[in-house]
């Protein structure tokens, strides 16, 4: 009976020592039976999901979800720090396991000695002495098993702590976004972004016997899109503007650098009852004050213009004054020139008649 109990304890400890300590995220159990594996790394956005040969695949899916670089870095740090702590616990477990195995040998040896004395019908005192030796060996072994199990519990608690921290940072899958792969291979479109991005790759396996398994991993991926030129600042041609109701004015925005990839601007008014804005064109609606804000899509840089709208004046505006200099000397007008010309003709005619009559009298 004692031997059977000792064997059961040994089997229990052995089973506990074989339990894998896999860090999982979220409420989804991440493939505890290690049926599917995501690749260690992606090459040019390509990878392959491996499935255990013991499973008959019904459907295999994947999806990629972006995670901020900061969150991905935090996850990496959490896992690295957690691994260091788990490695220490693992070393302690290994030491306890060796001690446990040595004590198991003592138990086996003490039991064999005890059983041999029983079988040989040795003196009762000798048998009792061997039995006491066996009981002590078994107690020492059981105490070491308890110590080992507590260390296993400590390990599992640490794993749960790591999982919780990772849960809070890693986005889970979106059920309607699964993409099916027939051969396990998948490829991400790297042409949609430039620089480095952190992505969570999720895998989902549905087997023909009705089981579903999930797995996930975080990768840092380099985009192939041409490098974007980021916006650095924005300014407006006016920072204040006085208008009358009904007036319009178009603000000119200058984005720096001028060759920024995304120069799109979002225009807003904080008081559309006073002034509205569309693509930089301001319309004065009613008396009051409004702040017009121009914000860049890239970077969220802003510039503002304070608009003061007054009542529309009913007084006609004065015509501009012509400051062209006019000479003091007056020139003859057209009518005056005509009289002078006619008077000259008449004078010549009269003079001619007088000369003609004089010559006639003198008979030339």
**pLDDT of 42:** 94
Helices (H), 219-313: none
**pLDDT of 194:** 80
- Residue 277's pLDDT band (boundaries 50, 70, 90)? very high
The residues spanned by each domain of the chain are 2-224, 233-310
202 pLDDT above the threshold of 60? yes
64 pLDDT above the threshold of 50? yes
Strands (E), the chain: 36-37, 46-48, 50-51, 57-67, 179-180, 185-187, 194-207, 212-224, 233-236, 240-244, 248-250, 253-256, 265-269, 275-278, 281-284, 288-296, 302-310
Class of domain 233-310: mainly beta
264 pLDDT above the threshold of 80? yes
User: Which CA distances in Å does 220 have to 35, 49, 64, 65, 204?
Assistant: 24, 17, 12, 12, 21
- Residue 11's pLDDT band (boundaries 50, 70, 90)? very low
CB 198 within 8 A of CB 69: yes
Q: Edge-to-edge strand order for the sheet containing 275-278?
A: 248-250, 281-284, 275-278
- Mean pLDDT to the nearest integer, 180-189: 95
43 secondary structure, DSSP code = B
**pLDDT of 198:** 92
Across all residues in the chain, what is the average pLDDT?
A: 83
CB 289 within 8 A of CB 269: no
Phi and psi, residue 41, nearest 5°: -150, 165
Q: What is the pLDDT of residues 146-170, one digit of tens each?
A: 999 999 999 999 998 998 898 888 8
- Mean pLDDT to the nearest integer, 265-277: 97
CB 187 within 8 A of CB 221: no
15 pLDDT above the threshold of 80? no
Category of 193 on φ-ψ map: left (φ > 0), alpha (ψ -120 to 50) or beta: beta
User: At which residue do the structure tokens 């109701």 appear?
Assistant: 245
User: Which CA distances in Å does 186 have to 19, 25, 49, 295, 308?
Assistant: 31, 22, 8, 38, 58
Range in 13-17, 185-189, 283-287 the model is least confident about: 13-17
Question: Cα–Cα distance between 45 and 281 in angstroms, integer?
Answer: 44
Question: Cα–Cα distance between 151 and 184 in angstroms, integer?
Answer: 38
262 pLDDT above the threshold of 60? yes
Query: Pairing between strand 194-207 and 212-224?
Result: antiparallel
**pLDDT of 321:** 37
Quick check: pTM over 0.75? no
């Amino acid at each position: 009976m004692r031997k059977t109990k000792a064997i059961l304890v040994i089997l229990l400890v052995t089973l506990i020592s074989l339990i894998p300590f896999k860090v999982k995220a979220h409420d989804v159990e991440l493939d505890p039976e290690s049926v599917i594996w995501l690749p260690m790394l992606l090459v040019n956005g390509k990878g392959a999901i491996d499935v255990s040969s013991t499973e008959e695949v019904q459907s295999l899916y994947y999806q990629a979800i972006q995670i901020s670089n900061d969150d991905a870095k935090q996850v990496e740090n959490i896992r690295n720090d957690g691994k260091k702590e788990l490695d220490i616990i693992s070393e302690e477990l290994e030491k306890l396991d060796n001690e446990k195995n040595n004590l198991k040998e003592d138990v086996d040896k003490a039991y064999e000695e005890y059983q041999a004395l029983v079988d040989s019908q040795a003196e009762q005192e000798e048998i009792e002495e061997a039995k006491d030796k066996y009981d002590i060996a078994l107690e020492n072994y059981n105490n070491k098993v308890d110590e080992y199990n507590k260390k296993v519990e400590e390990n599992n608690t640490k794993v749960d702590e790591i999982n919780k921290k990772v849960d809070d940072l890693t986005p889970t899958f979106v059920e309607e976004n699964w993409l099916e792969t027939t051969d396990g291979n998948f490829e991400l479109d790297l042409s949609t972004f430039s620089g480095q991005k952190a992505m969570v790759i999720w895998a989902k396996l549905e087997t023909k016997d009705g089981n579903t398994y999930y797995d996930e991993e975080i990768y840092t991926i380099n985009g192939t899109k041409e490098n974007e030129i980021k916006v650095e600042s924005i300014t407006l041609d006016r920072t204040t503007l006085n208008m009358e109701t009904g007036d319009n004015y178009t603000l000119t925005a200058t984005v720096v650098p001028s060759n920024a990839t995304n120069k799109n601007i979002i225009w807003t008014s904080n008081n559309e009852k006073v002034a509205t804005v569309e693509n930089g064109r301001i319309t004065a609606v009613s008396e009051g004050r409004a702040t017009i804000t121009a914000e860049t899509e890239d970077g969220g840089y802003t510039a503002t213009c304070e608009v003061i709208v007054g009542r529309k004046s009913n007084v006609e505006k004065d015509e501009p004054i012509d400051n062209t200099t006019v000479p003091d000397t007056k020139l003859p007008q057209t009518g005056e020139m005509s009289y002078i010309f006619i008077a000259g003709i008449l004078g010549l005619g009269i003079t001619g008649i007088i000369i003609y009559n004089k010559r006639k009298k003198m008979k030339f």
